[in-house]
Amino acid sequence: MPAQPAASIRDSAESAGILRPSGEKALLIDGRAAADRLLDELRSEAASLLRDGIKPGLATVLVGEDAASRVYVGSKGKAARACGFHSVQHDLPATTSETDLLALVGQLNEDPAIHGILVQLPLPKAINATRIIEAIAPEKDVDGFSPVNVGRIAIGEIERAFVPCTPAGALLLIEEAAKGLSRHLRGAEALIVGRSNIVGKPMAQLLLQRDATVTVAHSRTTDLATLVGRADILVAAVGRPEMIRGEWVKSGAIVIDVGINRVPRETAPGEAPKTRLVGDVAFAQAVKRAGAITPVPGGVGPMTIGMLMANTLRAAKRLAHR
């Protein structure tokens, strides 16, 4: 897909309401603004359900004291409350047994006030995460990790599935960016770098179902630069800081950087060590070649929480037969 002149890209992108000029050729995909709009819509829908006596309920389960997980879970609970949902957080010690965790999941499966269940990963090593995920009722699996939901996505039954939140949010950003750049996903060459069950594999399925031509690469792919250079749509989700060099990116490509990596920040002599967040793509170079690109932070991350709220609302409507 040839790139449009910068001015026409900017005009059409801003009219889509999701992109803003970056000062370079590329446009920044503003995930925070997109998530805010989504959450506003969900609040309105939740208020409508509440008038009918239905209050979406989300239960989050945190096992252990991992600081990052605690922040993530807290953010999800805060977003749920802001949407008008019933929000319950279960904080369990790291010594919790697999049997006890399974019992809690079973109770939440049976609780009519709970429509969505999220068990924060990773779990302590003594607990088999696969068993826990499989124990969550598919109709309450708002993370989209259960084999039932994974299978529905694989066979194209998206409407019946709960799609994992990060790829679902990334797809919305891709579609809005493509609209802003006056492009189509049909026939576009898409490259997914990363093959995880949480992001890479479902992302590939979603783009296949939009008629893109999809390639999945990973950390052991040979000649990754050539694959990146062909991609009209690049989704980086491999978890390696700036592994994808900016000069590899195809001119005018849509770049979605899912990576969140903490690296040392330059500090003055005698100053305490500090860190900064970077993605899997070398942003400073890529922004000069891409047509549209997500920043890190502020790109895909906010959409992940937004899509979790969307899945919870859908679960409430389904369980209420709406």
Determine whether 143 is an active site residue. Answer: yes
Block residue for tokens 């047509």: 291
**Helices 31-51/165-180 angle, 10° precision:** 120
Phi/psi for 56 (5° steps) reads: -55, 135
What is the distance between the alpha carbons of residues 55 and 173, in angstroms, rounded to a whole number? 28
How does DSSP classify residue 251? T
- Which candidate in 30, 120, 201, 280 is catalytic? 120
- Which candidate in 25, 30, 76, 232 is catalytic? 76
CB 28 within 8 A of CB 293: yes
| Dihedral-angle region of residue 270 (phi above 0 means left; psi in -120 to 50 means alpha; beta otherwise) | left
CA angle centred on 36, ends 17 and 259, rounded to 5° = 90
Determine whether 140 is an active site residue. Answer: no
- Which candidate in 30, 141, 143, 257 is catalytic? 143
The neighbour count for residue 8, using CB atoms within 10 Å, is 12
Determine whether 280 is an active site residue. Answer: no
Element (H, E) at 5: none
Q: What's the farthest any 2 CA atoms get from each other in the chain?
A: 63
Block residue for tokens 């002149």: 5
Of the candidates 20, 75, 33, 38, the residue with the CA atom closest to the CA atom of residue 298 = 33
CB 203 within 8 A of CB 215: no
Long-range contacts of 65-72 (CB under 8 A, 24+ apart): 65/94, 66/122, 69/120, 69/122, 72/120
What residues are labeled active site?
Answer: 76, 120, 143
